[in-house]
Amino acid sequence: MAKIEKQNNLDFYNKIAELLRKARKNVIQSVNKTMVYTYFEIGKTIVEEEQKGKIRAEYGKKIIKGLSQKLTKEFGKGFSLRNLEQMRKFYLTYGKQIETQKNKKTQTLSAELDKIKNQYPEFNLSWSHYLFLMGIEDIKERTFYEIEAYNNNWSLRELRRQFDSALYQRLILSRDKKSVKELSQKGQILEKPEDSVKDPYVLEFLGLPENKKFSETELEQKLIDKLEHFLLELGKGFTFVGRQVRFTFEDEHFRVDLVFYNRLLQCFVLIDLKIGKLTHQDLGQMQMYVNYYDRFVKLEQENKTIGIVLCRKKNDAIVEITLPENNEQIFASKYLTALPSKEELKKLINNKDNE
């Protein structure tokens, strides 16, 4: 009896504790959002005041410096000259994307903030996120990362990692012009198998130098050890099923290196790892794996299986001639164990545009 009572008390405590955790999280999110909107409006006010000056640059420096001194004296840290200039830049960066409404007066701060929220797109990220995003000059690329950071709840560290690994440019490489346009409007949308594929995949988190020799088993083990990072690199909707998943057909045993399931596409995703150059035999083997899963593993209501061969090197001509013209299931992608330079990716994109 005492044991049951103790468990009931623990359950009671956990319910109350969870309510408090959620409340605390909501308060923090509310404070962060209010701070971002306030900084936006401060930036707007500074820009409007600057425009009254005859010599804009000199006048702007003068008013920001004076404002910084007064605000710091009354409100403390957080209003340095640099911070105020960042608020100004925040308005100039995001204010260009909307139409401002003028000659509307409000009497309270809350009413003013409501007015701002009605005028401008929602700012759903932290101020630290926006400080980083403002450094991305291309509006389409910046909007893509803003959408993805919000949809995937990226921390600032993860946002930096995705940008440094050139996620936007890599997705461009595997998409047609219509899909590229959608990236900057909706973020990454998974509607068909090829939407889930990147080329190349960047596996810098494994800590494997580009010039180091390693076996497929070592590569697989590294991916398992860093599974959380690998799932982030794979993208949306992926859940891990197993490694070296065995199946038997006609008394022969086969093993798939890595098996995942994508909840958004509602299908299995099979990954085979190759440390050398891709061959047509590798593609044929993956085709057999995919066929087996389609015929004997997937449920009737699930979509067709996707197979991805990850390789160090590949010849696109070999891939094209090996796979059927209407292929929508088998893909070959390179993997990199170090971050590519933006110049390398730009070259690949330019070559794609010229094809």
What is the C-alpha separation between 29 and 35, in angstroms, rounded?
A: 10
Q: Which residue matches tokens 């979509």?
A: 303
One-letter amino acid of 229: H
> Going edge to edge, which strands form the sheet with 267-277?
201-202, 330-336, 306-313, 267-277, 252-262, 238-249
Better pLDDT: 2 or 75: 75
Task: Please give the angle made by the CA atoms of 117, 121 and 123, to the nearest 5 degrees.
Answer: 80
Residues whose CB is less than 8 angstroms from the CB of residue 121 and which lie 6 or more positions away in sequence, other chains included? 94, 97, 98
pLDDT for res 310: 95
pLDDT of 225 higher than 80: yes
Question: Could you report the per-residue pLDDT of 100-142, keeping only the tens digit for each?
Answer: 333 344 444 455 545 544 555 578 899 999 999 999 999 999 9
% residues pLDDT > 90 (the chain)? 42
User: Which of 88-97, 177-186, 227-236, 276-285 is least confident?
Assistant: 177-186
**Do 148 and 187 meet the contact criterion of CB atoms below 8 Å apart?**
yes
Q: Model confidence over 145-162: pLDDT tens digits? A: 999 999 998 999 999 999
Residue 271: closest CA among 315, 206, 227: 227
Q: What pLDDT shows up at residue 27?
A: 67
The amino acid sitting at 47 is V
| Residue 85: count of CB within 10 angstroms of its CB | 16
Give yes or no for residue 49 having a pLDDT over 90: no
CB count within 10 Å of CB 110 equals 10
Could you tell me how far CA 134 lies from the centroid of its own chain? 16
Going by C-alpha positions, the residue among 27, 15, 336, 61 that lies closest to residue 206 is: 336
Cβ atoms of residues 305 and 272 within 8 Å? no
CA distance linking residue 199 with residue 26, whole number of Å: 38
pLDDT tens track for 273-314: 999 889 999 999 999 999 999 999 999 999 999 999 999 989
Dihedral of the alpha carbons of 271, 273, 277, 279, in degrees to the nearest 10: -50
pLDDT at 103: 39
